[in-house]
Amino acid sequence: MEQTITITFTPEGNLELPPEIREQFVNGEKYSVTITEDGIFFKKAAKFDWNELRKRREAVNDPHPLTTEEICEIVREVRRENNE
């Protein structure tokens, strides 16, 4: 279902979201933001796939080695899971 809702950008630099949008967010969730000529789009970021990590680690010559940012994200995710 696609729905268009108008939001406000405040002088403080924040997005003022109506309740029906805020209710769909969960604390700690991450979103990727895409900027195009047509606008700015938010999409829920994919969670880290542990099976994919295992497959990549088992590959002799990993064609896509983990970046420092990916490693940091893994550490952050494990810490969040352990704190729940």
Read off the pLDDT of each residue in 4-19 and give the average, rounded to a whole number. Answer: 90
53 DSSP assignment:
H
pLDDT of 58 higher than 80: no
pLDDT for 16 equals 92
In angstroms, rounded to a whole number, what is the distance separating the alpha carbons of residues 15 and 34? Answer: 16
What's the pLDDT at 56? 74
What letter represents residue 42's amino acid?
A: F
In which band, very low, low, confident or very high, does the pLDDT at 2 lie, cut at 50, 70 and 90?
A: confident
Residue 22 and residue 6 in contact, taking contact as beta carbons nearer than 8 Å: no
> What is the Cα–Cα distance from 48 to 42, expressed in whole angstroms?
18
Three-state secondary-structure class, residue 65: coil
The band of 6, judged by pLDDT with boundaries at 50, 70 and 90, is confident
